[in-house]
């Protein structure tokens, strides 16, 4: 999956409070995310802190 699509999906999953699914999606697409991997992780961390 393209990095941009992964980030959008992670953001949507976090909005629905589906954090485990978001983490799984990030891990499955770690290679595609490359430098965006930390950004994807931040979506989850940010959402959990609010």
Using a 10 angstrom Cβ sphere, with 0-12 exposed, 13-18 middle and 19 or more buried, the burial of residue 2 is: exposed
Q: Are 13 and 21 in contact (CB under 8 A)?
A: yes
Mean pLDDT value across the chain: 93
Q: How confident is the model at residue 46 (pLDDT cuts 50, 70, 90)?
A: confident
Give the pTM: 0.84
Q: How confident is the model at residue 40 (pLDDT cuts 50, 70, 90)?
A: very high
- pLDDT, residue 43, reads 87
- pLDDT, residue 19, reads 96
What is the full DSSP assignment across 1-50?
A: --HHHHHHHHHHHHHTT-HHHHHHHHHHTHHHHGGGHHHHHHHHHHHHH-
Listed by start position, the domains of the chain span 3-49
């Amino acid at each position: 999956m393209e990095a941009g699509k992964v980030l959008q999906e992670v953001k949507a999953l976090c909005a629905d409070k589906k954090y485990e699914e978001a983490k799984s999606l990030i891990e499955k697409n770690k290679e595609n995310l490359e430098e965006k991997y930390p950004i994807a992780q931040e979506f989850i961390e940010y959402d959990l802190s609010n």
